[in-house]
């Protein structure tokens, strides 16, 4: 969920970056010594199989060579915690928020949900206030 939140924020909290050709072999990417610290998140861009958010040291990447970027990230703890709250909300409310059905009835059963999206918002709408603090335009 953290990756979805960062994408929605349009903010990856990049603190350093490398551009060029990279090799992933044995599930690990070769990066310069000291570029990332243990537990630090990083983002791969331009890969066929590994684009996205990862945590250093990553050992589960798909082997490949690619020309792209690797970004070192400094994601604040508050954003990580916010993404955990969003994940919990999505677990509890996500299916209803995505449902196109406003009401249905069959065989003595009926179901109705409010006519406006504010009654069952998406996680982006539900967390708009908290997300706004970190959003980049």
Q: What is the pLDDT of residue 104?
A: 62
Q: Before 41, cis peptide (omega within 30)?
A: no
All structural domains of the chain with their residue ranges: 2-73, 77-132
What are the pLDDT digits (tens) for 51-89? 999 999 999 999 999 999 999 999 999 999 999 999 999
* pTM, 2 dp: 0.80
């Amino acid at each position: 969920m953290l990756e979805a939140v960062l994408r929605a924020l349009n903010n990856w909290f990049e603190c350093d970056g490398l551009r060029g050709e990279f090799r992933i072999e044995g599930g690990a990417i070769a990066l310069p010594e000291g570029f990332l610290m243990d537990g630090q998140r990083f983002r791969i861009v331009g890969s066929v199989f590994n684009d996205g958010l990862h945590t250093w040291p990553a050992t589960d990447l798909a082997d490949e060579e690619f020309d792209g970027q690797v970004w070192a990230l400094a994601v604040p703890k508050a954003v990580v915690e916010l993404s955990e709250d969003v994940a919990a909300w999505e677990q509890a409310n996500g299916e209803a928020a995505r449902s196109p059905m406003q009401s249905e009835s069959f065989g003595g059963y009926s179901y109705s949900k409010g006519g406006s999206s504010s009654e069952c918002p998406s996680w982006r709408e539900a967390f708009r206030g908290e997300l706004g603090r970190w959003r980049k335009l």
